[in-house]
Structure 1
Amino acid sequence: MTTTTPTPAPIDVSRVTPTPNAPALAPIDLAPPIPTASAPAPALAPVDLPRPIPTAPAPIDLSQPVFGAAASFPSSLDPARALAEAAPALAAHLSDFHRHPAGLPDLRAAVAERYTRRGVPTTPDHIVVTSSPQAALALAIGLFCAPEDRVLVENPTHPDTLAVLRSCAVRPVPIPLGGNGITPADLPGRFVHTAARLAHFSAGYQNPTGHLPSAEVRLAAAESARRSGTWLIADETAIEPVLDGVAPEPFTLGVPRAAAERIVTIGAPSQTHGLALRVGWLRATPRTAAALARHQADAGLGASALDQILTTNLLHQADADLPAHRAQLRERRAALESALTRLAPEWSWRHPAGGLTLWVDLGRPAAAALTTHAANAGVHITPGSRFTLDPGAHDHHIPLPFTLPAPALTEAACRLATAWHQTLSTPRSPDRHMWTV
């Protein structure tokens, strides 16, 4: 038997029924009662509003040296001022239809003048401007190397260097850095036995360790490269800032001419003027520089005119800016070292005479785990394993830049100490090896 639901009687109203007719709908619960003077609206029941969720502390980025509003610029890097000063030169360049594959003449002259003042006579013909120090390294590798050629490289070294080597499809061969850097007596054998086509050495404060190559290391590397027919890249991107003592000597200073002719130097303003300036350069013999410039032109590469003009102006003003910049970094280095000494006494590091980073030894291989806990605590860091050719190596190190203001560095150290205690209290999962049969 089929049951049918009775159809409700039609209601003589529509969606446009005037408000006075609404009381007629109340008995069938289609409208709430209309408040009147004699029947005021019922009081609303109290509602418990949710409590505001506490906001997480603003993250602090120590994953790389940071310049900018948080870290403050040198005075000549005030963006509005720098752009205003660059405008006339940029306007003139826009009406110049000449190609400059080696870079704008004014910048090449400014870079050459700085090398000459450091004791290495240099003309603009020695200089090739690129879009970054990484582009400079890639340009040199592209000219000197073929895929699968061996390239000697310090271990640990900066991740950007390793990324360039991978992108160029060459085979990096590590030169291990000990507690005091490179051992000069080890170099001749490494050059001969590896048959490396090219070698990459830090000529300034090595990133990340902060080691400065001695005159003995420079001479041993240059002579070893000459005897083995290896091209040598001397990376001077970290010759500044000098915080203690005197500035590093140029890599080619005191090197015999025959050996110096196989040395190509890389430089950039990024250590003192920030990563936003996409400019680097190479210094080589005029013949090698011309070959590098042709190789860059063939690839359609090079730095923008604006970046080159800005860098030219900044180099002219660098001597006025650097003293205050160095003093500021010394203060920040001291603040970070003091906070770490107080809050993480089991950690250790070499007091860096220059550069931007502490290479901190945690005392145990826990950098990867600490990186995770630190991110949860609001600090972004980079594990030491990112700086090495060996998977899992240097997991007992972390690099900590000191470019942020002192209060931010002190707060970062407090958060890192909390994250370190969490790291120590979290059991490590056993290593598991998976085998495929």
Structure 2
Amino acid sequence: MAADRMVGSRRLAAMLPDLAGARPAYRHLAQAISALILDGRVALHVRLPAERELAAALDVSRATVTAVYDLLRESGFARSRQGSGTWTALPEGRAPSGVSRLLGSRDSAIDLARAAPALPGAVLADALAQVGPELVEQAGSPGYHPYGLPELRAAVAERFTLRGLATVPEQILVTSGAQHALTLVLGLLCRAGDRVVVESPSYPNALEAMRRARLRAVSVPVGDGGWDVEIVESTLGQVVPQLAYLIPDFHNPTGCLMPEGERGRVLRAAQRCGAWLVVDETLAELALDGAAPSPFACHAPSGGSGQVITIGSMSKTHWGGLRIGWLRAPSQLVTELAGQRVATDMGGSVLDQLLALVLLGRGGELLPSRLERLREQRAALVAALGEHVPQWSWRVPAGGLSLWVDLGEPVASALAERALDYGVRIEGGAYFAADPGVFEQRLRIPYTVPADVLGEAVRRLAAAVADGVSPSSASRRPHWVV
């Protein structure tokens, strides 16, 4: 049995909540494990620990773990193979949480689980009218562009050049969003079992992509004050990873901005150990206070042509529905990545790329209004938090899309559960953790919805807090009908 197709008893135990006061314990544990499976923190189709091993790790009786596994099987979250143990599964009719979060709310709940701005309909309508004739002209060609539409590659390269990093189109690969770019990079450069350095907290979908690639993530902390560069340097030197994934620009979820001097130190440390540095700049242009940072790769030698891969996207600056992203890398690597993507999608939508070209050309007109709206919404969120939950604390970031709020006690998962009853969907800090059992005192609260909606959402969260939440109340909401 391959080790990467099972979850260890100690690792699983570390992700499970404290059993103090939980009755019956087996039901509490079964619900917690089902939540981990839905969240992707425990992968599908992996073997769960043997009953005796998990019982020892949790300090409970074997009979309790037997009851846990029985309930998981009854509810569809596990299945057994004769002679080969118990394996995780997904019940029929249930979707993983990542899918549910992207689909959003279909009821009256306020959705704060996604930090995703909308695009004004009039802007999209104008762009569609403009690309119509160009799309007709493109229809005379086969329509496959594994590197991306040449005109769009040139436009993205020019944007890097204008930001201070000389770039040619051959260094650009257009992708179906930043997540697609990261997945291509992981698929080409990494093999199962490779070490990768990540921040904690970090972007959950990036962490999930690494878990699915069966990579061994080693985390470095990002606190309210940002990165401890000495820790980053020493971790890179000791671990010698295949790559490191960083979000230095208005970091998701903390909002921190890495200082220029620290960027050079991190890059040199990565070069010394031979690691690829994957820099996620999807939020770089969302500077709300001051100027946008220059590209991280400006600190690399040879005009940024070293082992630095820069990922970007239009999802946060324009609209996620376009599914337009890109990466900047050495031209030879771009060629290899284009070959990698042909096996999956052969190239992106020509219509989406033509729309992206038009919208990027209007960036000087569209981005300032988006930034001003985000400033207003950020101010509204801060005011609402100060009025309704002054016991919480937060740092106002200089850019990005969200606040990383400290609740003062480890009740985030319980509050997220309770908030559903009050019509708010939100994620607790543990969802952003690279390591299990941390950030239970944190909430990420995006300011991507209108100011009045943010005020109402905070009022509802305050009501949920007043109703009483505690660490032991987390995960008690049934995830299935027994």
Short-chain TM bin = 0.7 to 0.9
Shift of 1:427: 8.3
Work out the number of aligned pairs and report it.
370
The whole-number CA distance in structure 2 between the counterparts of 1:303 and 1:376 is 40
Q: CA shift at 1:277, angstroms?
A: 1.3
Residue 167 of structure 1 aligns with which residue?
212
Partner of 2:427: 382
In structure 2, the residue matched to 1:64 is: 114
Measure the CA separation in 2 of the matches of 1:303 and 1:288.
Answer: 19
Residue in structure 1 matched with residue 251 of structure 2 by the alignment: 206
Give the Cα–Cα distance (whole angstroms) in 2 for the partners of residues 318 and 430 of structure 1: 44
Report the alpha carbon displacement of residue 260 of structure 1 after superposing the two structures with TM: 4.6
Q: CA deviation at 1:226?
A: 1.0
| Equivalent pair of 2:166/2:303 in contact (CA under 8 Å) | no
Letter in 2 for 1:400: I
Report if the CA contact (8 A) 1:60-1:378 is conserved. Answer: yes
Tell whether the 8 Å contact from 2:282 to 2:316 is kept in structure 1 after alignment: yes
1:177 is paired with a residue of what secondary structure?
strand
Determine the C-alpha separation between the residues in 1 that align with 2:174 and 2:132.
Answer: 20
Q: Output the CA distance in 1 between the equivalents of 2:374 and 2:303.
A: 39
Deviations 1:290-322 (A, max 9, x none): 121122224444321111111111110011111
CA contact (8 A) 1:129 1:280 kept: yes
Match of 2:268 in 1: 223
Q: 1:92 to 1:345 in 2, by over 3 A?
A: same
For the aligned residue pairs, the C-alpha RMSD in angstroms reads: 2.1
**Distance in 2 of aligned mates of 1:315 and 1:193:** 41
1:183 alignment partner in structure 2 = 228
Aligned residue for 2:226, secondary structure, equals coil
Counterpart residue type for residue 221 of structure 1: V
Partner of residue 254, structure 1: 299
Offset at 1:208?
A: 0.2
Q: CA 1:215–1:260 in structure 2 vs 1: closer, same or farther (change >3 Å)?
A: farther
Task: Report what 1:46 is aligned to.
Answer: none
Corresponding residue for residue 271 of structure 1: 316
What does residue 122 of structure 1 align with? 167
The separation in 1 between residues aligned to 2:339 and 2:389, in whole angstroms, is 52
> Secondary structure at the residue paired with 1:275?
helix
User: Could you tell me which of 187, 198, 214 is aligned with 1:142?
Assistant: 187
The answer to whether the aligner puts 1:105 opposite 2:150 as a matched pair is yes
3-state SS of the aligned residue for 1:365? coil
Structure 2 unmatched runs, 5+: 1-106, 477-482
Which residue identity is paired with 1:237?
Answer: T
Task: State the distance in 2 between where 1:430 and 1:333 align.
Answer: 29
Task: Give the superposition deviation at 1:174.
Answer: 0.7
Q: Secondary structure at the match of 1:267?
A: strand
Corresponding position: 1:155 with 2:211: no
Which residue of 2 is the match for residue 34 of structure 1?
none
2:436 to 386, 391, 397: 391
Structure 2 residue 377 is the aligned partner of structure 1 residue 332:
yes
Contact 2:158–2:167 at 8 Å: present in 1 too? yes
Aligned to 1:309: 354
TM-score (norm 2): 0.73
Distance in 1, matches of 2:475 and 2:400, equals 36
Q: Relative to 1, partners in 2 of residues 1:265 and 1:410: Cα closer, same or farther, differing over 3 Å?
A: same
Name the structure where helix makes up a greater proportion of residues. Answer: 2
Mapped partners of 2:346, 2:428: distance in 1: 32
Q: CA 1:301 to 1:157, structure 2 compared with 1: closer, same or farther past 3 Å?
A: farther
Q: Deviations over 1:336-373 (max 9, x none)?
A: 10010011001111101111101111011000110111
Q: Which residue of structure 2 aligns with residue 15 of structure 1?
A: none
Shift of the 87–203 alpha-carbon distance from structure 1 to 2, 3 Å rule, reads farther
**Which stretch shows the higher mean deviation, 144-153 or 89-98?**
89-98
SS at match of 2:298: coil
1:43-82 matched pairs, under 5 angstroms: 58-68=108-118, 73-74=119-120, 78-82=123-127
Structure 1 residue ranges without an equivalent (≥5): 1-56, 433-437
- Measure, in 2, the Cα distance between the counterparts of 1:369 and 1:380: 12
Structure-2 separation of matches of 1:155 and 1:132 = 22
Output the amino acid matched with 2:302: R
Q: Which residue of 1 aligns with 2:11?
A: none
Q: Distance in 2 between matches of 1:190 and 1:421?
A: 42
Please say if 1:412 is aligned against 2:462: no
Contact 1:362 1:397 in 2 (8 A): yes
Task: Summarize deviations over 1:128-149 as a string: whole Å, max 9, x none.
Answer: 0111111100111111111111
Point out the structure with max Rg over C-alpha: 1
SS of the residue 2:258 aligns to: coil
- Tell me, yes or no, if structure 1 residue 321 matches structure 2 residue 366: yes
